[in-house]
Amino acid sequence: MITNRINPALVLVTVAVLTPSLIGAPTKPAPDQTAHADAHRGPRQVAIERYFRDELWAKVVESTCLNCHTANGDANDSGLILQDPAKLTPDKRSSAVHANLAAFHKVATALKKGESVVLLKARGKLAHGGEVVLKPGSTRYRILEGFVHRVTGDGHAPTKDVDAYDPPAFFDGVVMLDPQRLLRRVTLSLAARLPTEAERAAVAKGGLDALDPILDRIMTEEAFYDRLAEGFNDIFLTRGYDGNGEEALSYNHFGKTRLWYQKYDLSHIKDEKERKQAGYKLAREYREALLREPTELIKHIVRNGQPFTQLVTADYIMVSPYSSRGYGVFDEVKGKFKNVDDPYEYVPVRLKALQHRNGRDHQVTPTGYFPHAGILSTFQYLKRYPTTETNRNRLRARMYYQHFLGVDVMALAPRVSDAAAVSAKYDNPTMQAPDCVVCHKSVDPLAGLFQDYQNRTNDYGPRKEGWFDDMFGPGREGVDLPAEDRWRVLPWLGEQTAKDPRFAVAMVEHVWTIMTGRDVLLPPMDIEDPVFTSKRRAYLMQRDAIEVIAARFAADGFNLKDVFKAWVRSPFYRADGLATVVKHPRRRAELADLGLVRILSPEQLERKLEAVFGKRWGQLERQTAILYGGIDSKEITKRIDSPSGAMGAIMRIMANDMACKHVAVDLTTPKDKRRLFPNIEMDVIPGSSAEADQQIREAIVHLHAHVLGRTDKIDDPEVERTYRLFAGVVKDAKAKGRYEKLESYFCRGADGQRVPDPHYTLRAWRAVVTYLLRQHEFLYE
């Protein structure tokens, strides 16, 4: 079995103690595994355990001894049998760790000719089956020596870097987002809107506990489902398949229907130009409808509270009035639509077994239906990850592992001493060369399961020459495809996947990615890194949270909404600041990934602008979206997470333009309809009176709350700073004396006219809004 993120999960306390805080016991900081574990033992034993955990296990054993010294490993008859905590349920890990420590203690203290047996074995002595594992003098060997010295008590001084740092509880000193700001974060992130007054009041009264019912409501809103689709497309990239949308449907099976729009009767449109435009629109919307189908499946599953395992098991696809015509099933399903003219209303449908245009090579199934397997068997997914005669579906197998089990089989490809020579040495390296077999024995059986979906044109049907017999046969993780399931290979795969614990973990990781814009942490690999242990601690803490959420997700019926709620409650999502400045490099490394701190994507920024101003900017599309770090799901598949100067320029343009478009309009709109300035007018001049200054500061407090989500008091330094900007601009203008008494020609009022600005206050407010829109609090989540 290929394991997903390597999870040594070396905890010295039970996960039962650890986990509630990791997934959101909201009121107390997380108990620290290290501190907790250290409480009841003597300092020497604590030091030994920490050394074993942080040094020997993390840097040596996992990557060496554990490969053979397990009950099922090659060294299962040796005197050192270890348990891999990553393969155990959380409740058994603690005892496994202690057993491992005891096992190592035994071989470390056993002597042969006055020297520790474990050191001799590591050097290949005493007939060690694994021969030389550690070279004397190497970092790993020195760590093993350090362990031996510690347990034998021979006076070897503990190394400074290991023992000098006494880590605090993991979330100690981390300030969590207050409930009101958390509310704003989730409404903006998941529902593209600001919180309602009722929601604010509920949270003010009930705190964090009031958030769950609000989240339940948010996750019924259409904006949430759009966000869900966008987020999962960032992962599956199904919108990025080659060619026009209809090219997902093969010519051989849908040749008569997939271009239905070309013959669609638009004769009722008399004007030729209009008719042409209507035809273009029809094609455009049909293609878009097809592109959306895979994520519409996800929306349907979540909206209806179906188990998210349907992602890989659903025996239906989602079709719209337009896309159903492409499959030739419109007449069959049209009664299910509320509006047959809505290209984007989707309903589930089971396709019948495919009919080949040649009249012979039809798909034959016992049920008469196409064997659907959720997104796995959608034509869009298959076309997004095409295959060739030489690739043999291995790309699809790789993506399967990545998307549904959270395993990147290509992540850390083992180095081969001479890959070309290996290729030449063996007749069939992928089945014979050990260096190749290690991966291909997992990847190739999976690839074989896609054998009926062969090529770039998405034709269905077995390969004429039969599936390749020079690769491992179809199956999954050591289980051969049962003959009776041959006609339904992908549903069989989906069923196996749904039962795999890694599926739930992968989905929890996907939701994390959607909510934070970044991948989950990977285990650190560089044991020479001075902050290796700190990075590993951060990794393990996050991993524990993921596994706990995944376990609950699976136990409670795979409702994906529960995962969103669990992450929102989690301190990983709520971490917002520090109580005091942290300077210790190891502590900083532990905290390095904490905090959402995500630059808004082009789509998110547009939605936030709409939520704040009532209108989108409308510029962050196509080329500008790419400039602003967006993706096209084809060539550009990773969003930029750190702004360059190019993105900085777009931020400036956006801030200038949005302020220009909205400040004068808002200030010339009736007060009760204003978003930005509900309590002030342009004739309030800074410095003119104490009341005026108070009013300006109150207006700033409102702007800070509305635009930035801050809850400032009137004497907050940031309010003062903004006030100084506003007052400074007015003062500078006055000092200049000569300025136009009208707002800019380009920044007009609600009636479309230029707005008088005799005191320069309107332009000063525009400067303030520009300033706020360029801030971190606005541009980041």
Partner 1 sequence: MRRDFLKVCGWAGMGLAMPVSQSNLVRAEPKRPEPYAGPYYAVFNASGGWDTTYLMDPKGVNGINRLYKDGDIVTRGKHVFAPNAKHIEVGMSNEDFYKRYGKELLVLNGLDYSVNNHSPCKRYMATGKLDSHAYPTFAALVAACRNPHSPIAFLTFGNYSATGNLVPMSRVPYIPSLQKLANADGVNGSSRHMYHDDFVQDRIEATLAEQAEARVSQARLPRVEQAQSTLYAAQLNSQALKRVTPHIPKDTPKERLARQAEIALASFKAGVCVSANLTMGQFDSHANNDPDQMRLIPELLSGIDHMLRRAEELGIRDKLVVVMQSEMGRTPNYNKGNGKDHWSIGSIMFIGPGIKGDRVVGATDEKQFLVPIDPKTLKTVKEGGVRVRPEHIHAALRAKGGLADDAFSKQYPLDVPNEERIDGLWG
Residue 777 token pair: 């609090």
Choices 148-156, 216-224, 415-423, 702-710 (CB under 8 A): range interacting with partner 1: 415-423
Residue 118 CA, chain-centre distance (Å), reads 42
C-alpha to C-alpha distance for 762 and 685, rounded to whole angstroms: 10
Q: Is 204 a residue that touches partner 1 (CB under 8 A)? A: no
3-state secondary structure 312-356: HHCCCEEECHHHHHHHCCHHHHHHHCCCCCCCCCCEEECCECCCC
Residue 22: how many CB atoms within 10 A of its CB?
Answer: 25
Residue 434 has phi, psi (to 5 degrees) of: -55, -40
- Torsion over CA of 59, 62, 66 and 67, rounded to 10 degrees? -100
Site track for partner 1 across 730-759, x = CB under 8 A: --xx--x--x----xxxx------------
Please report, as residue ranges, which positions from 539 to 598 form the binding site for partner 1 (by CB under 8 A).
Answer: 575-583, 585-586, 588-589, 591-595, 597
Q: Is 534 a residue that touches partner 1 (CB under 8 A)? A: yes
Q: How far is the CB of 424 from partner 1 (least distance, A)?
A: 7
Residue with smaller CB distance to partner 1, 258 or 704: 704
Please report, as residue ranges, which positions from 761 to 780 form the binding site for partner 1 (by CB under 8 A).
Answer: 763-764, 766-767, 770-771, 774-776, 779-780
Are 72 and 141 within 8 A, CB to CB?
no
Residue 470 CA, chain-centre distance (Å), reads 37
Residue with smaller CB distance to partner 1, 498 or 591: 591
Binder of partner 1 out of 366, 473, 618, 728 (CB under 8 A): 728
Binder of partner 1 out of 359, 645, 670, 737 (CB under 8 A): 645
Are 20 and 171 within 8 A, CB to CB?
no
Q: List CB contacts of 732: < 8 A, sequence separation 6 or more.
A: none
Residue 680 has phi, psi (to 5 degrees) of: -150, 155
Residue with smaller CB distance to partner 1, 127 or 424: 424
C-alpha to C-alpha distance for 289 and 204, rounded to whole angstroms: 42
Q: How far is the CB of 5 from partner 1 (least distance, A)?
A: 12
Residue with smaller CB distance to partner 1, 279 or 643: 643
The residue to which tokens 């706990």 are assigned:
548
Site track for partner 1 across 657-696, x = CB under 8 A: x-xx------------------------------------
What angle, 0 to 180 degrees and rounded to 10, lies between the N-to-C axes of helices 197-206 and 179-191?
140
Q: Is 643 a residue that touches partner 1 (CB under 8 A)? A: yes
Binder of partner 1 out of 162, 278, 626, 742 (CB under 8 A): 626
Q: Is 438 a residue that touches partner 1 (CB under 8 A)? A: no
Choices 191-199, 468-476, 504-512, 520-528 (CB under 8 A): range interacting with partner 1: 520-528
C-alpha to C-alpha distance for 740 and 40, rounded to whole angstroms: 76
The residue to which tokens 């300030």 are assigned:
175
DSSP state letter for 576: E
Are 461 and 454 within 8 A, CB to CB?
yes
What angle, 0 to 180 degrees and rounded to 10, lies between the N-to-C axes of helices 501-516 and 222-236?
110
Q: Is 656 a residue that touches partner 1 (CB under 8 A)? A: yes
Residue 25 token pair: 């016991």
Residue among 467, 595, 671, 461 nearest 182 (CA) = 595
Residue with smaller CB distance to partner 1, 680 or 779: 779
Please report, as residue ranges, which positions from 382 to 411 form the binding site for partner 1 (by CB under 8 A).
Answer: 388-391, 410-411
Q: How far is the CB of 649 from partner 1 (least distance, A)?
A: 4
Residue with smaller CB distance to partner 1, 49 or 757: 757
Q: Is 427 a residue that touches partner 1 (CB under 8 A)? A: no
Q: How far is the CB of 635 from partner 1 (least distance, A)?
A: 5
Residue with smaller CB distance to partner 1, 27 or 623: 623
Q: Is 30 a residue that touches partner 1 (CB under 8 A)? A: no
Binder of partner 1 out of 271, 427, 484, 635 (CB under 8 A): 635
Residue with smaller CB distance to partner 1, 274 or 389: 389
Q: How far is the CB of 685 from partner 1 (least distance, A)?
A: 16
Residue 560: how many CB atoms within 10 A of its CB?
Answer: 23
Q: How far is the CB of 485 from partner 1 (least distance, A)?
A: 30
Q: How many residues bind partner 1 (CB under 8 A)?
A: 94
CA distances from 433 to 418, 423, 428, 511 (A): 12, 8, 8, 38
Please report, as residue ranges, which positions from 150 to 179 form the binding site for partner 1 (by CB under 8 A).
Answer: 174
